[in-house]
């Protein structure tokens, strides 16, 4: 059974159809890159999988571990192991990152019927994880993403990914707003989280991120559909020839 | 369990229409006839065993009140109040002097137990983790004065306070036992002619708390008053007077609840604080009067005058308030910075939901030299409520070196509520430095979705964001109040989204 199966998905925002029958299958341990020009529907796909309000699914299906994902509340999807690394992580003033992490992790564990972490156990875990990702302790004491640089925000996303141990990670334009050094650090963090069980969907406009996170499959989206799929070579071809050829094909 | 989650647990159990403190206590009570006249003022005065000077004081206030009109400048709307349709005095029966808790009607004790107010001495506070380096709060004591409708029913820890020289008793007793102190200070901060509601209060106040801390004494425990309106159609007019003599310190907490009623009830209190040289008063309020139901019916009209006078040099008065209840709030705890180098502080969280209307803020009146003040106000509006911050900062001609910092932040939840900021700033000398910062923001869908994507429910997400927003002010509250206030905030916002 595939981990994630998107079948013939059609999605509207207000009156406009954005996805016109998109299909995608992701198995455990695979890394899929989704590329495409602006407005092709890449971010819409990530939002619909995560359950962001404002999107209307008019047709099609999304199965996650064989279950109907569209029937679940977004927090339920999170507890089942769907993680979205945001393109623009939000700031939450006055809420310490540590508090946020503990509240979220325990909410997920509770939803799964697991015991909640005690404060000392949680602290131990978060220290281990942040150390392995080279994240300084003082970042955990600051308000969630408040005054963080672009690179720090993305590292905070990676930290959450490491802590929540999701089965599926969707990285939405992870490279946006990062210089090359910050990109490398964030990508190293993601690579450290690759396991034979965990799948990743990497959404990006540019090929350069894929030099650091090497995908197993590359899909090209245009005008709300996947128009071509291949291996990592496809990304390099795109870098050469651009998206124009696919705009016409769509 | 983290506090946020705990609050959410509670929220789930409480519907917006199920005000947790909305029960009624069935006890016999003795009421004065409805309405207000010189006879009623005399009746109340007699019930309180007032000395002659007190009756005179009340009558003067009453006559003055007859010439006054209700203020209309606040951004609140309500039908005209019929002041002849209110009971001005209600006391639990049998009314006799109570010298120990055993003589209090067990029904009233039960009420306070339900409310979680520790009237039994040795108040054990449960479930609060002590901060490192602080004494165990479970061993901290709080002296409580409980006011039920119009009458003070019990003051705990009297003996222990007496040993320290601190006077903490119902004001009706203080009028008889310490007339020299009461006569010297009563009305010296909020004069009987001050404003419509304060003048009304001066005529008919029936009880409240009196505190005197002698020179150089640090009050050995937190003092607390708990107000409860129980009777139908009654007004509650309590009067609180706190005097911190030279070099003394006192921290005072105030909490309030009322049963759910369809009709509106009037609460018009006056609080006066006097801090002499080098003295400090910290006054904290958690106000949770019944806010009315989800259609805006019923609820308390909270028209309160609170003012502190930093009368001595280097004195300090600090107001902290968490306002979540009442249908209408009209309240401006203020500081008169008379003494040189004195300091005033105002920390406020005002939350409105449903049809609540809040018009609240502060006045910092700089009269002495090198006086400073600080205002941190956090307004949160949800539902169909209106939430206004109204503040005055003024420096007198002689108040050289006056400094003020004001930060007013408003948070909107939903799109049917309103937040307003009305600051008045007057500097009559050129050496004053006033800073004012204001922000208004909305809890964005993006922030909520971010939290929900990480596994929080909608309510948990709102609770988390709001608790972050008010954090600076919550930190000012005594710890046991901060925990309670944090819970109250989430409960007040129940039903505000979705």
Reported as a single tens digit per residue, the pLDDT across B401-444 is 999 999 999 988 888 889 999 999 999 999 999 999 988 888 88
Domain count, chain B: 1
Quote the CA–CA distance of B463 and A91 in Å, as a whole number. Answer: 15
Nearest CA in chain B to A86: B450
Nearest CA in chain A to B469: A94
Q: What is residue B75's predicted lDDT score, i.e. its pLDDT?
A: 87
Quote the CA–CA distance of B156 and B223 in Å, as a whole number. Answer: 10
User: Does the CB of A120 have a partner CB in chain B at under 8 Å?
Assistant: no
Q: What is residue B16's predicted lDDT score, i.e. its pLDDT?
A: 39
Query: Backbone phi, then psi, for B205, in 5-degree steps?
Result: -55, 140
Q: Decide if B424 contacts B363 (C-beta within 8 A).
A: no
In chain A, beta strands by DSSP E: 4-13, 16-26, 31-35, 56-64, 67-68, 82-85, 92-96, 143-144, 168-172, 199-204, 217-222, 225-230
Q: Decide if B48 contacts B89 (C-beta within 8 A).
A: no
Is B17 a domain residue? no
Q: What is residue B115's predicted lDDT score, i.e. its pLDDT?
A: 57
**Whether residue B307 has pLDDT greater than 90:** yes
- Please count the other Cβ atoms lying within 10 Å of the Cβ belonging to residue B432: 21
3-state secondary structure B306-343: EEEEECCCCCEEEEEEEECCCCEEEECCEEEECCCCCE
Query: Backbone phi, then psi, for A22, in 5-degree steps?
Result: -100, 135
Q: Which of A50, A53, A94 would best serve as a mutation to test chain B binding (most B beta carbons within 10 A)?
A: A94
Q: Which residues of A touch B456 (CB under 8 A)?
A: 75, 103-104, 107
State the complex-level ipTM: 0.95
- Please count the other Cβ atoms lying within 10 Å of the Cβ belonging to residue B17: 14
Pairing of strands A31-35, A199-204: parallel
Quote the CA–CA distance of B346 and B325 in Å, as a whole number. Answer: 19
Is B34 a domain residue? no
Is B101 a domain residue? no
Q: Which residues of B touch A105 (CB under 8 A)?
A: 455
Give the burial class of A167: count Cβ atoms within 10 A of its Cβ; 0-12 exposed, 13-18 middle, 19 or more buried.
middle
Pairing of strands B142-148, B222-228: parallel
Quote the CA–CA distance of B171 and A155 in Å, as a whole number. Answer: 60
Instruction: Quickly state the pLDDT bin for B94 (edges 50, 70, 90).
Output: very low
Q: Which residues of A touch B472 (CB under 8 A)?
A: 94
Which residue in B446, B456, B472 is closest to A103 by CB distance?
B456
Q: What percent of chain B has pLDDT over 70?
A: 76
User: Does the CB of B1 have a partner CB in chain A at under 8 Å?
Assistant: yes
User: Does the CB of A108 have a partner CB in chain B at under 8 Å?
Assistant: yes
Quote the CA–CA distance of B390 and B363 in Å, as a whole number. Answer: 9
Quote the CA–CA distance of B480 and B128 in Å, as a whole number. Answer: 7
Residue A142, SS3 per DSSP: coil
Q: Which residues of A touch B447 (CB under 8 A)?
A: 90, 92
Nearest CA in chain A to B463: A95
**Whether residue B134 has pLDDT greater than 60:** no
| Mean pLDDT for the stretch of residues B126-145 | 43
Q: What is residue B15's predicted lDDT score, i.e. its pLDDT?
A: 37
Q: Which residues of B touch A103 (CB under 8 A)?
A: 2, 4-5, 456, 460, 464
Q: Which of B453, B471, B474 would best serve as a mutation to test chain A binding (most A beta carbons within 10 A)?
A: B453
Nearest CA in chain B to A96: B468
Q: Is B446 left (phi over 0), alpha (psi -120 to 50) or beta?
A: alpha
Q: Distance (Å) from the C-alpha of residue B452 to the closest C-alpha of chain A?
A: 5
Predicted model pTM: 0.79
User: Does the CB of B475 have a partner CB in chain A at under 8 Å?
Assistant: no
Pairing of strands B334-337, B357-366: parallel
Q: Decide if A158 contacts A193 (C-beta within 8 A).
A: yes
| R_g of chain B computed on alpha carbons | 22
**Distant-in-sequence, close-in-space partners of B270: CB < 8 Å, separation ≥ 6:** B190, B198, B201, B202, B205, B238, B239, B240, B304, B305, B306
Q: What is residue A96's predicted lDDT score, i.e. its pLDDT?
A: 92
Domain count, chain A: 1
Q: What is residue B1's predicted lDDT score, i.e. its pLDDT?
A: 40
Instruction: Quickly state the pLDDT bin for B23 (edges 50, 70, 90).
Output: low
Unique residue bearing structure tokens 């009746």 = B43
Nearest CA in chain B to A49: B453
Write the CATH number for A140. 3.40.50.300
**Distant-in-sequence, close-in-space partners of A203: CB < 8 Å, separation ≥ 6:** A33, A34, A42, A43, A45, A46, A170, A171, A172, A173, A174
B1/A74 Cβ within 8 A: no
In B21-150, beta strands by DSSP E: 29-31, 90-92, 142-148
Is B471 a domain residue? yes
Q: How long, in residues, is chain B?
A: 498
Tell me how far the alpha carbon of residue A15 is from its chain's centroid.
26
Nearest CA in chain A to B3: A103
| Mean pLDDT for the stretch of residues B263-282 | 91
Quote the CA–CA distance of B122 and B139 in Å, as a whole number. Answer: 8
A103/B469 Cβ within 8 A: no
Q: Which ranges of chain A have pLDDT less than 50?
A: none
Quote the CA–CA distance of B279 and B213 in Å, as a whole number. Answer: 10
Q: Decide if B413 contacts B497 (C-beta within 8 A).
A: yes
Give the CA count within 13 Å in the CB-facing half-sphere of B271: 26
> How does B374-384 read in b/e, with b if 16+ C-beta sit within 10 Å?
bbbbbbbbbbb
Quote the CA–CA distance of A241 and B103 in Å, as a whole number. Answer: 92
**Whether residue B57 has pLDDT greater than 90:** yes
Question: Domain of B234?
Answer: 44-91+138-493
pLDDT higher at B27 or A203 = A203
Q: What is residue A220's predicted lDDT score, i.e. its pLDDT?
A: 93
Residue B361, SS3 per DSSP: strand
3-state secondary structure A35-72: ECCCCCCHHHHHHHHHCCCCCEEEEEEEEECCEEHHHC
Instruction: Quickly state the pLDDT bin for B152 (edges 50, 70, 90).
Output: low
User: Does the CB of A104 have a partner CB in chain B at under 8 Å?
Assistant: yes
Unique residue bearing structure tokens 């007004």 = B235
Q: Decide if B121 contacts B30 (C-beta within 8 A).
A: no
Which residue in B445, B447, B471 is closest to A53 by CB distance?
B445
Q: Looking at chain A from residue 190 to 209, which residues have their Cβ under 8 Å from any Cβ of chain B?
A: none
């Amino acid at each position: 059974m595939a981990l994630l199966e998107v079948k013939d998905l059609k999605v509207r925002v207000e009156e406009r159809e954005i996805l016109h029958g998109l299909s995608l299958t992701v198995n455990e341990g695979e890394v899929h890159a989704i590329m495409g020009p602006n407005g092709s529907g890449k971010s819409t796909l990530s939002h619909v999988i995560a359950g962001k309000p404002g999107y209307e699914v008019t047709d099609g299906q999304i199965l996650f571990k064989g279950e109907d994902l569209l029937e679940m509340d977004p927090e339920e999807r999170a507890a089942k192991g769907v993680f979205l690394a945001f393109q623009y992580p939000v700031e939450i003033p006055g809420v310490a990152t540590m508090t946020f992490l503990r509240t979220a992790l325990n909410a997920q564990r509770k939803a799964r019927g697991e015991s909640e972490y005690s404060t000392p156990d949680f602290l131990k875990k978060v220290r281990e994880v942040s150390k392995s990702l080279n994240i300084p302790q003082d970042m955990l004491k600051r308000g969630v993403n408040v005054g963080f640089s672009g690179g720090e925000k993305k590292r905070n996303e990676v930290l959450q990914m490491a802590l929540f141990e999701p089965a599926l990670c969707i990285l939405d334009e992870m490279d946006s707003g990062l210089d090359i050094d910050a990109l490398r650090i964030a990508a190293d963090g993601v690579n450290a989280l690759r396991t034979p069980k965990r799948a990743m969907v990497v959404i990006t406009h540019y090929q350069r991120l894929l030099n650091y996170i090497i995908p197993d499959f590359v899909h090209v989206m245009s005008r709300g559909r996947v128009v071509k799929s291949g291996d990592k070579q496809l990304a390099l071809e795109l870098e050469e020839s651009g998206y124009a050829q696919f705009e016409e094909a769509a | 369990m983290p506090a946020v989650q705990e609050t959410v647990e509670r929220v789930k159990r409480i519907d917006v229409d199920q005000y947790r403190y909305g029960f009624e206590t069935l006890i016999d009570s003795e009421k004065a006839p409805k309405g207000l006249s010189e006879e009623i003022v005399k009746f109340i005065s007699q019930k309180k065993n007032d000395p002659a000077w007190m009756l005179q004081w009340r009558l003067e206030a009453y006559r003055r009140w007859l010439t006054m009109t209700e203020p209309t400048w606040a951004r609140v709307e309500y039908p005209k109040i019929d002041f002849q349709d209110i009971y001005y005095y209600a006391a639990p029966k049998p009314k006799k002097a109570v010298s120990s808790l055993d003589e209090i009607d067990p029904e009233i004790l039960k009420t306070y137990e339900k409310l979680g107010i520790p009237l039994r001495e040795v108040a054990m506070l449960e479930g609060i983790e002590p901060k490192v380096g602080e004494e165990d709060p479970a061993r901290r004591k709080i002296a409580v004065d409980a006011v039920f409708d119009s009458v003070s029913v019990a003051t705990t820890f009297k003996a222990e306070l007496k040993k320290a020289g601190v006077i903490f008793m119902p004001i009706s007793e203080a009028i008889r036992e310490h007339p020299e102190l009461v006569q010297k200070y009563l009305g010296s901060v909020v004069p009987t002619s001050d404003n419509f509601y304060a003048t009304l209060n001066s005529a008919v106040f029936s009880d409240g708390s009196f505190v005197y801390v002698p020179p150089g004494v640090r009050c050995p425990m937190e003092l607390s008053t708990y107000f409860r309106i129980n009777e139908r159609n009654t007004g509650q007019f309590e009067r609180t007077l706190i005097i911190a003599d030279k070099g003394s310190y006192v921290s005072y907490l105030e909490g309030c609840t009322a049963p759910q009623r369809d009709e509106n009830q009037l609460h018009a209190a006056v609080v006066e604080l006097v801090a002499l040289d080098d003295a400090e008063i910290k006054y904290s309020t958690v106000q949770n009067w019944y806010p009315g139901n989800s259609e805006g019916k019923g609820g308390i009209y909270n028209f309160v005058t609170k003012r502190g006078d930093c009368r001595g040099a280097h004195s300090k008065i600090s107001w902290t308030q968490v306002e979540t209840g009442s249908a209408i709030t009209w309240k401006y705890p203020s500081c008169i910075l008379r003494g040189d180098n004195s300091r005033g502080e105002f920390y406020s969280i005002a939350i409105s939901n449903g049809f609540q209307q809040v018009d609240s803020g502060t006045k910092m009146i700089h009269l002495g030299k090198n006086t400073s003040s600080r205002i941190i106000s956090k307004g949160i509006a949800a539902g169909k409520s209106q939430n206004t911050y109204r503040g005055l900062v003024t420096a007198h001609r002689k108040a050289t070196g006056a400094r003020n910092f004001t930060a007013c932040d408003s948070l909107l939840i939903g799109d049917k509520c309103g937040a307003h900021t009305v600051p008045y700033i007057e500097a009559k000398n050129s050496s004053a430095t006033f800073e004012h910062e204001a922000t208004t923001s909305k809890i964005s869908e993006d922030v909520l979705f971010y939290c929900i994507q990480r596994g929080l429910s909608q309510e948990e997400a709102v609770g988390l964001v709001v608790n972050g927003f008010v954090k600076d002010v919550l930190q000012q509250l005594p710890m046991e109040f901060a925990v309670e206030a944090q819970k109250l905030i989430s409960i007040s916002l129940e039903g505000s989204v979705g």
